Structure formats: structure tokens, C-alpha cells
Structure 1
Amino acid sequence: MRDVNIPKQGSLICRGQGRSYGDAAISSQGQVMLSERLNRFLAFDDSTGILTAEAGATLAEILETFVPRGWFPAVTPGTQYVSIGGAIAADVHGKNHHHAGTLGVHVTELELMLADGHRQRCSPEKNESLFWATLGGMGLTGIITEASFRLIPIETAAIMAEHNPASDLEVTFKWLEDTDYDDQYTVAWIDCASARRHFGRSIVMKGHHARRDELPDDWKDPFFVPPLCSKSIPFNFPSFVLNRFTMAVFNERYYRHQGRKKGSFITDYASFFYPLDALAHWNRLYGRRGFLQYQVAIPDPYAHEGIRRLLEHLINSRQGAFLAVLKRFGSANAGLLSFPVAGYTLALDLPMTGKKVLNLLQQLDELVIKYGGRVYLAKDACLSPESLRAMYPRLEEWQRIKQVVDPERRFQSDLSRRLQLAGTL
């Protein structure tokens, strides 16, 4: 157990690896605590796969240590450069949510430092209300100092993958819901530049941790991981480079290139789960103004119609999305502010164009509310307090717990202030 000191005055938010797309780990009116040095592995039980680690440990460090031993995180987001504390605070999900749920489902216990400096252990069975308020609570219930969570056994470090083109949105939905086609991990890349008869066409990507008997004969070491071939974007691209015309060209080439792949193929886990990690400073592609990532969840039975309406509105706005990803969600967990709900989630990367894109996102928020959905707080940058309250029906329940454990609202971020997460002062 390491000492973690909370300042006696002022507000505080803990920052992991800073991979949240918005202002969740920023505090312009308070202090920010960095957690990189709080990164030790404390215990591992190879009979259950339960790892106990300090909250500053990253997925990259876990993968480096445990993949060669035959273990893999039960849930991983799209980058390995996130801290465990940050991943729990955002209750991250992955390509297997429809099978495995969020990371929080696999957390057996966590230690939380409260605003008064006391440490509190909580789990689904002990202090459970605080536990479920912390999962997805964006670091506002206290500082996560350590956590215990499950890893899953794997036979190899490889992924048996398959990519298939879907001609339109209906075919995409059909494949994502086909249990015969589905795999351990399944996700669809959506072409947001295509309309009319190709509206919503996609590349549906699926895969699973390869078994040893699925490896080719020349793959001698089942846990061999190729060195990361990291490239870097050396400068900010001019803002005119990414526009709806260049995006359309890129999407056409990507769709045709991926559509030519036939059958299953072996790939390494980093290429499958973390393709952007191999491109340092990839955000520079969007120029100095950057981009906004907008991710929503639309619940069943309105998911098909809601996702269609969102994509139609995006295309009609004539504002291109450089990247769009569609995934199925399984059942929601008990996290009061956890993002996933049974249905579908759509994530969009939108170049920052000022008021034009902000107005678009406000319009999309209205559609999301109409279909009973919500915006992911870990990627939000411009949601309003009123929209938040319409999207998260258990917010008041979370606020009551927040009031008990942090009555003076010591834990605050720019996100919490903007959204009045703890209520108005």
C-alpha cells in the first residue's frame, strides 16, 4: 500500500494516461493528480486469473507481462495505453461487449481513497452501492488506488480474424446479429460517405484468440508478438486535407481493399485490437483544430431505426466522419453511469469545424434522446446538462451516493462542472 495524499483544500481529479477524448481528466479550476507511478502489480492467482494491480498500471504493461504467460484482459478498449483506474472510471467496453460486458463486470474488488482521506474497499458484494457508482463514475467518487480483476486464458498471442464486406446497413445489422457468423470479437467499420443503395455499407470484422491448432506450421512460438512497427505523423496536416471528398476516396479504397480479403487469416493481437497505437500522433491528421469523437448507444428495440436516422442526418449535413464504428452491445450492468445498454453503439470521428460541427452534435443529441439512447461521457466534449439528465435515468441515484462520500465536492473535473454532474452549487 502506497501513500496517496489528498490536498487539504481545493478540488481534485485523478488523471491516468489522458486518453479520454474530452475534459474528463482536466480541471482548470482545481488540481490534477497524475497516477503513472502508481503502477505496481500486487498479486496474481493463476488458478482464477485474478490480477491485483495499482490503478496507474496500464493495459500495455499487463499485456507485456501476462500474454507470454497465457493470459489476456477480459475486456480491452481500442488502445492499450490506458490505465486500469481510468478504464474502471470510464467502465470501458470492447469488441466483445455482447459476450463479456464491460471491464467493470470483471472487477472483483477495488480500493478507493475518499475525499476525507480514508481508504474504502468495495466490490459487488461489499459496499456495493459505492462500487457501482465508481464504475463509470468518471473518477468523481474518489481516487481508485488499486483493483482486482479477471484475465482470461489464451492458447496463443494470435488472433484468427475474418473481414467481410456488407453491401448496406441492413446487411450490416443482419451479420452483426447472425449467431452463426458472430465470433468472440465482432465490430463493423461503416462507410459514412456512401448514400443511396450503398448507404451504411461496411466491413464486418470478427475474430477470436487463436487456438494452437489454428496456427500455421511455421509459427513456432505460440506467444510470439511481432515488435510494434510504430510510425509517426510528424506535423499537423493542413485543415483542408480532410474533407468529405478525400474521406470518400479513402473510404472507397478501404472498402475495396478489405473486401478483397477472403476467408480467415492469422494476425497479431496488437493489429487486431489497437491499430491506431502503431501510428503515433495520429490526431495530427486532423490538423491543429483537432477532432471530436462522438459515441452513442441506442437501446433495443429502437436501435436499427435510431442508428439509421443518425447516419442519415450525418450524411445530409455534408460533414464527413473520417472513422465510424458500429458494435452490438449486450445487457447493461448495474453501474449507475455506465454507458452500454442492450442494443448498438456508433462511434464517429468528426473534424473540428467550429460551430458547424457543434450544431450537428446538438442535433444528434436530440435524436439520441428521442430513441432512448445516451452519449459516452469518456468521449464527450459538448453535451449539455439537460441532455445528460435525459440520457442517464439513474443520475439522481448516483448524485445521492456522491453527496454521501464527497459532501464538499472535492472531486471535480471540467467535465463534471460543464455537465453539473453533482448538481448545481
Structure 2
Amino acid sequence: MTDRDRVAASLACRPGIAYGLGRSYGDVCLNPGGVLWCTAGLDRLISFDDTTGRLVCEAGVVLRDIQKLMIPRGWSLPVVPGTQFVTVGGAIANDVHGKNHHVVGSFGEHVRRLRLVRCDGESVACGPDIRPDLFAATVAGLGLTGLIVEVELQLRASTGPWLEAETVSFGGLADFFALSDESEAGWEHTVSWIDCTSGSDPRGLFMRARPAVGRTGKPWLERSRRVPFTPPLSMVNRLSLRPFNALYYALGRRRAGVQVVHYEPFLYPLDSVLEWNRLYGPMGFFQYQSVVPRAAGLDATRDMLDAIARSGEGSFLAVLKTFGERPPAGLLSFPREGVTLALDFRHSRVLPQLFTRLDDIVRAAGGRLYPAKDARMPRALYEATYPNLPAFAVHRDPGMSSGMSRRLMGR
């Protein structure tokens, strides 16, 4: 056992939960009154085979650092979420997905091996072919099967940092689904923004991209702005929401057409505005992300948007996309065949009633909510929509506990 293993083992003997970069919107990586293990120090790249694309690294390595190092060498991560400021361990614990789920699935599908340190100090290796039951529990296991310390990832060949991207405006959910069906065969990345202030059949912007083989765009310089302070009240409110959405839609329509862009602004648009969450004021915001089967997608999405409109609330960051029909990588993986809707809401007194209505729609449609972005899902809804919970519970580490696990699992 290495020195780092001994440190990890000693930490694991203290009940708690791992904390990477803290980008989850809810309480999956929080432990009120308990211990957090900061994994940022587990940040070494251990080995890389540039003929096969196999990368071995520690769990605290940040996805951004892998991309910056590997893309110039002709390799990249197959799956990245909407921010690159996520650790490898966090990406596995939440089985994150990206805009290309219909092509490559979720993050856990590309993990070949990982090593856990359990609360009793035992170091356990697992993977798709090594203790696959424990591996399936660890992928999307919310950090509750042990402390992930080392990971082997399968990268994919990359043609470089440039994408051929196109923005297409649409006028209603039927148009959105038609664009999704049309795009999945020829475009690796697909996602849409919708104006949820425009009714239950909203207008929106459909964005799609694929590798720009042999082409380069304009010289790209990484820039980021920072929201400098937290305003006393949310800047996203009933007065600002409609003009914000109208302006975003108008600007998006001006960008319509095909262009070659750098991967960072397309895949991680919010990373260019640091601490953007401050715009929601000192009370913060809730994100509500659901997935429902494709067969129920049109009606369920329309019902959710109608409920939001009737509540008087709305979302500026409303994202709609489809998931492909792929087997889940983990017992508790969120992605499934269907359509996913992600919405941000400012803190307000009407939210509990609105969320109850949205929960009812999602459950009736046979869908579920995304734990990585959840802070209030009822335990009954979680148990009803994640049927593999009993199989997962067999592999829980008794020394792992978080605010989320106590809220949704009782301990």
C-alpha cells in the first residue's frame, strides 16, 4: 500500500463523504454536521498509453486538465458534462452525461477499472470485468460505496479542438422532436434551449455540433468573466425573466447557420461566466432536471411547462435534449431512453407546490429526477423511480454518509 493509500484509508475510517470541486447543485457532496474528505489532492496523472488511449489517474484530477493535455495529443474524454470543472471521481459517482449521450452514453461506460478504499481500510479494485456488481453500484453510486482513489479511463480519438456547429430556431415541441430525430445520425452533440415564458409549446434554439475534420475556426482565446458580487435580490425574477429570454432567443437566431467553433464555448457555455450562480441572490436557486420515456415525452414536457406558466415562475436556463437508448452504466444511473428537461428556479414561496406538481407529472410518465442536481426530492419519489435501490444497498459502505443519503435512504 502506498503512502497515499494509507492516508486515504485513515480518512475512510472516519464516516463521511468525498468532496471534489463541489459543483453538484444539491446535497450529494454535503454532510451537515459530519466529515467531508476533500479529494482535490488526489490529482496525479499516473500513466497514459498513447496507442490505446488508456489513462490511469487519481480521482481528484479535473476533467478540464485532462482535456487540455490530451486533445493536442489526439485524444479526448468521450463524455463531458456542461462544466469541465468536475473531478473524475465526481463524474463517476454521478455518472454524468453530456450532449452526446445518443452516441457514447454516460461517463461510467468509459471507466475500465477503479480502486476504492472502504471505511475499514480495505482497498478494492473493480470494473466491468472485475467485481462487476460492486462496479455497477459505484458508478452513479453517489459516493456511497467507498472512496474512489484511482481510475482507468478509456479515451477516444480526437480530431482536435474544433467543432462544426449549427444553431436552428424552432417553434414548438413537435419541431424540437423532429430536429432531434433528424440530427442524431449525423451530429454528435445535440441540445436545445427553450423559452419557457413562451407557453407550453415553446420556441427555442436547437444547437448541434460534430468534429470539424480538417477545418479550423477563428483564433480562440479563453476568456472568462466573473459576477463580482451577490446582489441583495435575485436578478432572475418575474420582471426580468421575459426580457432575458426574448434577448437570448434573438441573439441565438442571429447566430443561426453553420460555423466552426472551439469546443469549450459550445460544450461548457456557463464556464465563461464564473460564479454565475450569484445572479440568483443570497437565497440561491434550485435546479429541477427530469427524464421521461420518449413515448411520454411530448405530453409530459408540455404538462410541466404548463404547470410552470400557471405558477407564475419560470427559468432562464431551460435545457431540453433527448437521451439515446443505451443500457445504464450503473445501478442508479439517471440517463435512460427519453427526453430530459433541466430548469433553474429562483428561491420563492411557490416552489414547493410547483415541485410537487412537477414530481407528479414525472412519476406518472415513468420518469425520474437527477440526484446530482437535487436538493429536495421526496424519499418516496426516489424509491419509486430508482428500482435498483435494494441491489445497490448491498454494496453500500457503512462508513459513507451524506446529506442526500440521509434524506433519500435514511442513513
* Category of TM-score, reference length = shorter chain: over 0.9
Q: Deviations over 1:181-208 (max 9, x none)?
A: 7510000101101027xx2211000001
The residue number in structure 2 matching 1:113 is 117
The residue number in structure 2 matching 1:148 is 152
Q: Deviations over 1:299-326 (max 9, x none)?
A: 1321221112111111111101121101
Q: Deviations over 1:40-85 (max 9, x none)?
A: 0111111221111100000111112112212211000011110000
Q: Give the partner amino acid of 1:215.
A: T
The residue number in structure 2 matching 1:5 is 9
**TM-score scaled to structure 2, two decimals?**
0.95
How much has 1:368 moved relative to structure 2? 0.8
The residue number in structure 2 matching 1:137 is 141
Q: Deviations over 1:271-326 (max 9, x none)?
A: 11111111111111111111011111101321221112111111111101121101
Aligned residues: 406
Match of 2:316 among 298, 322, 327: 322
Moved over 4 A (4+): 7-10, 179-182
User: CA, structure 1 residues 157+34, in 2 after alignment: closer, same or farther (shift >3 Å)?
Assistant: same
How much has 1:334 moved relative to structure 2? 4.2
Kindly report which structure 2 residues correspond to 1:210-359, keeping only aligned pairs within 5 A, or say none. Answer: 210-212=212-214, 214-215=215-216, 226-239=220-233, 241-330=235-324, 331-353=326-348, 355-359=349-353
Q: Is the 8 A contact 1:182 1:206 kept in 2?
A: no
The residue number in structure 2 matching 1:90 is 94
How much has 1:244 moved relative to structure 2? 2.6
Question: Would you say 1:186 and 2:190 are equivalent positions?
Answer: yes
The residue number in structure 2 matching 1:395 is 389
How much has 1:175 moved relative to structure 2? 0.5
How much has 1:29 moved relative to structure 2? 3.0
Find the aligned partners of 1:30 and 1:110 in 2 and give their Cα distance: 26
Q: Is the 8 A contact 2:234 2:280 kept in 1?
A: no
Q: Deviations over 1:336-379 (max 9, x none)?
A: 100011001110011111x4212211221111111111110110
Q: Percent identity?
A: 39
The residue number in structure 1 matching 2:404 is 415
The residue number in structure 2 matching 1:207 is 209
Unmatched segments (≥5 aa) in structure 2? none
Q: Deviations over 1:73-124 (max 9, x none)?
A: 1000011110000000000000000111000001111111112111111111
SS of residue in 1 equivalent to 2:235 = coil
User: CA, structure 1 residues 387+156, in 2 after alignment: closer, same or farther (shift >3 Å)?
Assistant: same
Q: Give the partner amino acid of 2:261.
A: T
Q: Deviations over 1:222-259 (max 9, x none)?
A: xx7x3321111111124253213311111112112211
Find the aligned partners of 2:367 and 2:126 in 1 and give their Cα distance: 29
The residue number in structure 1 matching 2:367 is 373
